[in-house]
Amino acid sequence: MEQVSEQYYKRDFWIQENLNYVKPHFRLQKAARIVNAIAQGRQADLLDVGCGPATLKHLIGENINYHGVDIAIHNPAPYLLQTDFVETTIRFGDKQFDIIIAQGVFEYIGEHQSDKFSEIQQLLKKNGIFILSYVNFNHLHRDVYRIYNNVQSFDNFRRSLERFFHIDRFFPTSHHWHHHEPNRKFMKHIQMHINMNIPILSPLLAVEYFFICSRPRT
Ligand X SMILES: C[S@@+](CC[C@H](N)C(=O)[O-])C[C@H]1O[C@@H](n2cnc3c(N)ncnc32)[C@H](O)[C@@H]1O
Q: Which is nearer to ligand X, 74 or 158 (CB)?
A: 74
Q: Are 133 and 184 in contact (CB under 8 A)?
A: no
Determine which residue in the list 108, 130, 154, 164 makes contact with ligand X, applying CB under 6 A: 108
Query: Residue 101 Cβ, how far from ligand X at the closest point, in Å?
Result: 8
Q: Which is nearer to ligand X, 20 or 156 (CB)?
A: 20
Query: Residue 23 Cβ, how far from ligand X at the closest point, in Å?
Result: 10
Residue 71 as a binder of ligand X (CB under 6 A): the answer is: yes
Residue 203 phi, psi (nearest 5): -60, -30
Q: In what order do the strands lie in the sheet with 64-70?
A: 80-82, 64-70, 44-49, 97-102, 124-135, 208-214, 166-172
Closest CA to 68 of 84, 58, 88, 53: 53
Q: Are 22 and 83 in contact (CB under 8 A)?
A: no
Return the C-alpha torsion angle 203, 209, 214, 217, nearest 10: 20
Closest CA to 132 of 179, 180, 165: 165
Residue 104 as a binder of ligand X (CB under 6 A): the answer is: yes
Residue 14 as a binder of ligand X (CB under 6 A): the answer is: yes
* Interface segment toward ligand X; rule CB under 6 A; list 34-42, 102-110, 168-176, 202-210: 102-110
Residue 73 phi, psi (nearest 5): -90, 130
Residue 84 as a binder of ligand X (CB under 6 A): the answer is: yes
Determine which residue in the list 70, 98, 181, 208 makes contact with ligand X, applying CB under 6 A: 70
User: What is the x/- site pattern for ligand X, positions 24-63, by CB under 6 A?
Assistant: ----x---------------------xxx-----------
Binding site residues, ligand X, CB under 6 A: 14, 18, 21, 28, 50-52, 70-72, 84-86, 103-105, 108
